């Protein structure tokens, strides 16, 4: 049976170019970039070449890039750093949204326990926050605004440039978790007024366990991994050079191909959305126009997303009900709840996240299999029976 992998928001397969780029650093160029000898310096040159490529792709200088173990670490370091630096000036308030990734939300929860106050902005039913709402939440003691660039579940793209502009005017640091955006849609930290930005290689066909934090020059960054002087003293530990090389190559490739890839993905995405919405009592989650090219997120009333996933998997279709991080828990997605969906509707969600490796055939397989599975699950669902008998009202 053919596998149709449509869970690219969880992780992607590495591209050939990314694999080729990492190979030399697994064997021949094995030096430690901190060593002063020739072998080490060769590694150091490769490290700096990768930094330069990544900086170019998001329009910053190489000195503003700090390599990390991934998006989660970058989020943690950015937020904690800005919070603790703010606290030194008596600023202990942070503005964020209710539908951030858990790498952000859990960091904020922890800061709340440490005496910080966080305003979580509501997200509109279309999956967007507005710059005006961010503006009204900012106070004189606000140390940081952290709003994600694109949401990992519903794919909505936030008005980052406007939010950044407001933060600049108000003198507040602006961090954005751009893990779903970088390599997929245009990101320009200068034009978009971004002070700190997190990215992760495995979301754009690079290796897992490697990412970067961009920090605008002049903004102080705290160290949380103590040790050697790597990353200009901000993040100790021998660099994952092979992974970093793959990240640079993957990002370069993603940026070169972005226009063509987006066009292709949007076609597949919209065909999927149109096809799936033909299923009665279904609904698209998240705005259609301000949306990642590869994201589909729909709810089907009267079914459990988890059951749907298992049956799709049995047909070779690998999808998700939302975030990989919440799977295993029985709670519905915090993102869908933040959009105002009732619990019972949020439970029946399906996220399909496409990459350029997907084909029209994949879309056809999904559109062939899904309606029958939804119907099967509804036929054995006591909730659906009540809905059909009119004992409870349809919500979608």
Ligand X SMILES: *Cc1c(COP(=O)(O)O)cnc(C)c1O
Catalytically active residues are: 325
- 80 vs 203, beta carbon nearer ligand X: 203
State which residue, 148 or 194, has the beta carbon closest to ligand X.
Answer: 148
Quick check: 70 binds ligand X (CB under 6 A)?
Answer: yes
Q: How far is it, in rounded angstroms, from Cα 158 to Cα 147? A: 8
CB of 197 to ligand X, least distance (A): 11
**Does residue 96 bind ligand X (CB under 6 A)?**
no
**Does 264 interact with ligand X (rule: CB under 6 A)?**
no
Report the DSSP pairing between strands 142-146 and 173-177: parallel
User: Does residue number 240 form part of the binding site for ligand X (CB under 6 A)?
Assistant: no
Residues 199-238, mask of contacts with ligand X (x by CB under 6 A): -x--x-------x---------------------------
Binding mask 74-93 for ligand X (x = CB under 6 A): -x------------------
**304/292 Cα distance (integer angstroms):** 25
Residues 129-168, interacting with ligand X (CB under 6 A): 148, 152
Q: What are phi and psi of 96, to 5 degrees?
A: -145, -165
What's the min distance (Å) between Cβ of 9 and ligand X?
6
The reply on whether position 72 binds ligand X by CB under 6 A is yes
Distance CA(120)–CA(100), nearest Å, equals: 9
- 3-class state of residue 40 by DSSP: helix
* Cα within 13 Å of Cα(332), Cβ side: 20
- The Cβ-side half-sphere exposure at 388, using a 13 Å CA radius, reads 11
Q: Output the six-digit token pair for 167.
A: 């933060």
Cβ closer to ligand X: 128 or 179?
179
On the CB side of 282, CA atoms within 13 Å amount to 22
Backbone torsions φ then ψ of 303, nearest 5 degrees:
-130, 165
Which segment (70-78, 260-268, 370-378, 388-396) binds ligand X by CB under 6 A? 70-78
Q: Which residues form the interface with ligand X (CB under 6 A)?
A: 70-72, 75, 101, 103, 148, 152, 177, 179-180, 200, 203, 211
């Amino acid at each position: 049976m053919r596998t149709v992998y449509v869970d690219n928001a969880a992780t992607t397969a590495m591209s050939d170019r990314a694999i080729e780029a990492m190979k030399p650093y697994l064997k021949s160029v094995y030096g430690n970039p901190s060593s002063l000898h020739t072998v080490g310096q060769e590694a150091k040159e490769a490290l700096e070449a990768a930094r330069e490529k990544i900086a170019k792709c998001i329009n910053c200088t190489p000195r503003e890039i700090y390599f990390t173990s991934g998006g989660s670490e970058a989020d943690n370091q950015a937020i904690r750093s800005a919070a603790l630096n703010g606290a030194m000036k008596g600023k202990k308030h942070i503005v964020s949204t209710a539908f951030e990734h858990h790498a952000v939300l859990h960091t904020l929860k922890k800061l709340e326990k440490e005496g910080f106050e966080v305003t979580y902005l509501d997200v509109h039913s279309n999956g967007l926050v507005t710059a005006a709402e961010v503006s009204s939440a900012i106070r004189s003691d606000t140390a940081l605004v952290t709003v994600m660039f694109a949401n990992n579940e519903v794919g909505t793209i936030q008005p980052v440039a406007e939010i950044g502009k407001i933060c600049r005017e108000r003198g507040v640091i602006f961090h954005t978790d751009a893990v779903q955006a970088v390599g997929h849609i245009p990101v320009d930290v200068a034009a978009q007024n971004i002070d700190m930005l997190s990215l992760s290689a495995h979301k754009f066909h690079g290796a897992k366990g490697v990412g970067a934090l961009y920090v605008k020059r002049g903004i102080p960054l705290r160290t949380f991994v103590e040790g050697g002087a790597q990353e200009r003293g901000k993040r100790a530990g021998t660099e994952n050079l092979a992974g970093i090389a793959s990240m640079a190559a993957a990002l370069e490739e993603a940026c070169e191909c972005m226009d063509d890839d987006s066009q292709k993905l949007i076609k597949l995405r919209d065909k999927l959305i149109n096809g799936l919405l033909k299923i009665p009592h279904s609904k698209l989650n998240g705005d259609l126009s301000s949306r990642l090219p590869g994201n589909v997120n729909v709810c089907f009333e009267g079914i459990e997303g988890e059951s749907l996933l298992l049956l799709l998997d049995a047909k070779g279709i690998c999808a998700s009900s939302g975030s990989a991080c919440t799977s295993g828990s029985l709670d519905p997605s915090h993102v869908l709840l933040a959009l105002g969906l009732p619990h019972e509707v949020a439970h029946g969600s399906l996220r399909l996240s496409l990459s350029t490796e997907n084909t029209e055939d994949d879309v056809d397989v999904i559109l062939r299999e899904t309606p029958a599975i939804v119907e099967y699950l509804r036929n054995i669902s006591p909730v659906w029976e009540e809905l059909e008998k009119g004992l409870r009202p349809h919500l979608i």
